[in-house]
Amino acid sequence: MRVDYFLFWSWKLNLAIRAPQLLAVFVTVTLLGLVAFAATRPEDATQVGSVDESGFGNSQNSDPGSSKSGSSKSGEPAYVGRQVCAECHRENFEQHAKHGHAMTFHHVPETDLANRLAGQIVDGGEGFGSYHYRQGDDGELFAQLPELSELSELPIEYALGSGHNAQTFLTLRESANADSLGLEHRVSLYPGDRLAITVGHENKTANSLLESYGSTVHGETVDRCVYCHTTTAQITGNRIDNLVANVNCEKCHGPGSEHVALARQSATPPPYSVGKADWDVESELQLCGDCHRLPQGLSKSELREYPDNAVRFQPVGLLRSACYLKSGRQLRCSTCHNPHVSTHGVSKADHIANCVSCHDESIEKHTICPVNATSGCIECHMPAIDQKQGIKFHDHWIRVREND
């Protein structure tokens, strides 16, 4: 997990020799996606926080499949599912199963949500009325607005988020044109089965019966919302086809059929995807930043002002940290996060060990903290910043802060 940034050049050499064709294809596809998105991105921040309580509102590229295909023109590998990976990569599989990535998207009738939430009533605030939750015969969950009309109810089809911070409900509707149409509910579920207003919806108003339940999200905004929370999905009208929920192995590694076939023939299959030897910092930032957001996804004013909710976008902070800029750009997400292991079980000591791998008192050329060289690094240099509804994110802009 630790990277010695003084090994930069030996590592570069390694990449030059080993960089496989597939990685090049993958990176190219990702970069093309980014270029396309950079060309169409909105200039201002007005939408941030308005669509997704995570502030992912002004989202990115329009084709939900664009950066996940990973398939070579000749072979066209297909998706095989994470259970197949488990056969040979048991440890990665078990780690990933406990990660937020493995629970970011839920088809509500297949969960116990209806049972848990039936009978609850939530005040939607002025102009909205009270939502009543009802369980259907087959485990479906409905939101009702009896004050508005006795007949008014909306099925809650999907819930996004692991629930560690929140789960937000999404209902898909047929739209008048070919664009996808979704309804992001005004009420989300917070830890402890607490239903409350979705972050970002505080100041919204309703302009139609549908909007009495929340905000409508159209076209690429809803496509992208589903894209970031699933492995494969195709929205057609009010259905999702080819749904593989959650951010699974093949979302990051690409479709695996070819690798599996080759691995069954040989114990040393050729390189398939991102692996330790061939994997470079920029590609990794593109991969994680595709969903966790890159600076290109923020408006100029947000980048300038770096408001508190910008800490949700870890790559944005990391890219402006001296640790990244002055280490020969050796600092990457996987320096501190095994991509398969949830942060929620990682000890404070392990986090400090990551910092100390580059800020080690016993190594003369390292820069050492004059305040505390052995502990408390995260609280002082990457503090957790409060968002609404009790959610906190750690500021990945690692720096000396004014009030330290």
Residues 26, 33, 34, 56: which binds ligand HEC (CB under 6 A)?
56
Binding mask 229-268 for ligand HEC (x = CB under 6 A): x-----------------xxxxxxx--x--xx--xx--x-
Positions 335 through 394 that interact with ligand HEC (CB under 6 A): 335-337, 339-340, 342-344, 351-352, 354-359, 367, 369-378, 380-382, 391, 393-394
| 8-state DSSP, 112 | S
Contacts (Cβ under 8 Å, ≥6 apart) of 404 = 371, 380, 381
Tell me, rounded to whole angstroms, the distance of Cα 153 from its chain centroid: 30
Compute the distance between CA of residue 10 and CA of residue 17 in angstroms, rounded to an integer.
11
Positions 2 through 41 that interact with ligand HEC (CB under 6 A): 3, 5
Distance in Å, CB of 38 to ligand HEC, minimum: 14
Residue carrying the six token digits 């201002």 = 44
Comparing CA positions, the residue from 191, 180, 187 lying closest to residue 233 is 180
For ligand HEC, the closer CB: 71 or 335: 335
Residue 376: CB atoms within 10 A of its CB come to 12
Range list of β-strands (E), 330-399: 384-386, 392-394
Residues 33, 37, 45, 93: which binds ligand HEC (CB under 6 A)?
93
Compute the distance between CA of residue 242 and CA of residue 253 in angstroms, rounded to an integer.
18
**Residue 59 sits in the site that holds ligand HEC (CB under 6 A):** yes
Residue type at 163?
A: G
Phi, psi of 234 (to 5 degrees): -135, 115
Size of the site for ligand HEC (CB under 6 A): 117
Distance in Å, CB of 316 to ligand HEC, minimum: 8
**Residue 50 sits in the site that holds ligand HEC (CB under 6 A):** no
Compute the distance between CA of residue 197 and CA of residue 119 in angstroms, rounded to an integer.
17
For ligand HEC, the closer CB: 75 or 149: 75
Residue carrying the six token digits 């995807």 = 273
| 8-state DSSP, 388 | G
Compute the distance between CA of residue 72 and CA of residue 22 in angstroms, rounded to an integer.
7
What is the dihedral angle through the alpha carbons of 245, 50, 164, 314, rounded to the nearest 10 degrees? 90
Phi, psi of 215 (to 5 degrees): -105, 135
Half-sphere exposure of 319 (CA within 13 A, CB side): 19
Quick check: helix, strand or coil at residue 144?
A: strand
Span from 29-37, 40-48, 108-116, 330-338 in contact with ligand HEC (CB under 6 A): 330-338
**Residue 309 sits in the site that holds ligand HEC (CB under 6 A):** no
Binding mask 183-202 for ligand HEC (x = CB under 6 A): -x------------------
For ligand HEC, the closer CB: 114 or 159: 159
- Structural element, H or E, at residue 86: helix 82-88
**Residue 100 sits in the site that holds ligand HEC (CB under 6 A):** yes
**Residue 99 sits in the site that holds ligand HEC (CB under 6 A):** yes
Comparing CA positions, the residue from 247, 274, 243 lying closest to residue 99 is 247
Residues 45, 117, 166, 310: which binds ligand HEC (CB under 6 A)?
166
Distance in Å, CB of 368 to ligand HEC, minimum: 7
Residues 48, 101, 195, 309: which binds ligand HEC (CB under 6 A)?
101
Distance in Å, CB of 289 to ligand HEC, minimum: 6
Locate 34 and state its tokens.
């980014």
Binding mask 263-302 for ligand HEC (x = CB under 6 A): xx--x-x-xxxxxx--x----xx-xx-xxxx---------
Residues 19, 63, 69, 89: which binds ligand HEC (CB under 6 A)?
89
Span from 111-119, 121-129, 146-154, 323-331 in contact with ligand HEC (CB under 6 A): 323-331
**Residue 204 sits in the site that holds ligand HEC (CB under 6 A):** no
Quick check: helix, strand or coil at residue 34?
A: helix
Locate 354 and state its tokens.
């990551």
**Residue 206 sits in the site that holds ligand HEC (CB under 6 A):** no
Compute the distance between CA of residue 212 and CA of residue 214 in angstroms, rounded to an integer.
6
For ligand HEC, the closer CB: 144 or 286: 286
Binding mask 109-148 for ligand HEC (x = CB under 6 A): ----------------------------------------
Distance in Å, CB of 205 to ligand HEC, minimum: 18
